[in-house]
Amino acid sequence: MKQGIYKVPGGKLIKILLDEHDGKVSSVKITGDFFMHPEESIDNMEAALKGIPIDKEKIIARLNDFLLDNKVTLLGADSESLAHTIINSK
Amino acid sequence: MKIRFLSTKFHTAAENMAIDEAVLNEIASGNSLPTLRLYGWQPAAISIGYFQSLKEEIDLEACETSGIDYVRRITGGGAVLHEHEITYSIHIPESENVIPNGILESYQILCGAVINGLTLIGIDAKFIPINDLVVTYNGTPQKISGNAQTRKKGIILQHGTILLKVDVDKMFSLLKVPDEKMKGKLINDVKQRVTSVSTILARDIPFEEAHDFIYKGFQNTFPSFEFTSGELTNNEKNSIPLLVKDKYGNDDWNNKR
């Protein structure tokens, strides 16, 4: 299990627990003091990252698709900062 | 818009969150009016945001030893120690069209009521997006209020705390920090960035006095709202024990993440 933590400049704190295999996300747990609307989307967002290569641009794209498709609003964090935290997990 | 004013005084953490949800549900059902509620926490408790990990944020043993309770909120945001403070919650249907659709704008409008209330006792607070109120004290902006909002069943629920007194050392004795080695520095850092009503006014502010100026703050900020003091309805009262048992007082919910 890898861990990541990142204070988004001008935003909130993101914490990541990452299980990876073969350079891909097996599972990810995203916690922190940010806001997401609707709140329950977090589980689906974590699920949406399953199998994605640990690659910043790919993760950003996957998250952006998720946010758009599901009309989810993130406050205090964004796709870029989430991806940053994931790829910098150790 | 007619709005009910609920003064529920002091309850446990689980009961407080259950009351907020019971009220939201009844308003969504059309059986209760939009509501402003003011309340306190007995025993003192830490509430964590929906997206936080309970075990990572709170030292559960330290809370147990100190008699401090804890609960997970349905709103995002961070960990808050509800001790010497007053909490408000405001519940307004989106269909009333009195609060902006945009979440950031709505935070600003609703927090404006707390700012107004603080003005009444001579404190000049400013809104810092997303959800903070700060006062410039000793030349630096220091946080005096944290707020969190959710929208469920077409109801805007925003709740927030106004710090009447703050003990940063006590806070940190109950919380976990990412880096234990940096704890001392972090505590000193936070001491410069958090303040309270009693620090600024150099006198103790009782709950009842805060109750008064926060209520007035909402009344002043929303002159088109007709506030009437009310009680919890029977439906609301009856749903509270179940919400405590199955949700807010339950490990399944509090340990969710």
Nearest to B56 among A15, A35, A76 (CB): A15
For residue A76, name the pLDDT band (cuts at 50, 70, 90).
very high
| Terminal C-alpha separation, chain B | 38
Asked whether the beta carbons of residue A38 and residue B151 sit closer than 8 angstroms, the reply is yes
Predicted pLDDT at B180: 84
Q: Tell me which chain A residues have a C-beta less than 8 angstroms from the C-beta of B24.
A: none
Asked whether the beta carbons of residue A35 and residue B148 sit closer than 8 angstroms, the reply is yes
Predicted pLDDT at B181: 85
CA angle B179, B180, B182 (to 5 degrees): 70
Predicted pLDDT at B177: 87
- Which residue has tokens 């409008």? B109
Q: Which residues of B220-245 are buried (b: 16+ CB within 10 A; e: fewer)?
A: ebbeebebeeeebbeebeebbeebbe
Nearest to A31 among B53, B77, B152 (CB): B53
Asked whether the beta carbons of residue B77 and residue A37 sit closer than 8 angstroms, the reply is no
Asked whether the beta carbons of residue B178 and residue A5 sit closer than 8 angstroms, the reply is yes
Question: Residue B37 in 3-state DSSP?
Answer: strand
Q: Tell me which chain B residues have a C-beta less than 8 angstroms from the C-beta of A38.
A: 151-152
* Residues A50-78, mean pLDDT to the nearest whole number: 98
Tens of pLDDT along B56-83? 999 999 999 999 999 999 999 999 999 9
Joined together, the tokens standing for residue B60 give 């559960």
Has the ipTM of the complex gone over 0.85?
yes
Which secondary structure element, helix H or strand E, spans residue B183, and what is its range?
A: helix B183-193
Question: Residue B186 in 3-state DSSP?
Answer: helix
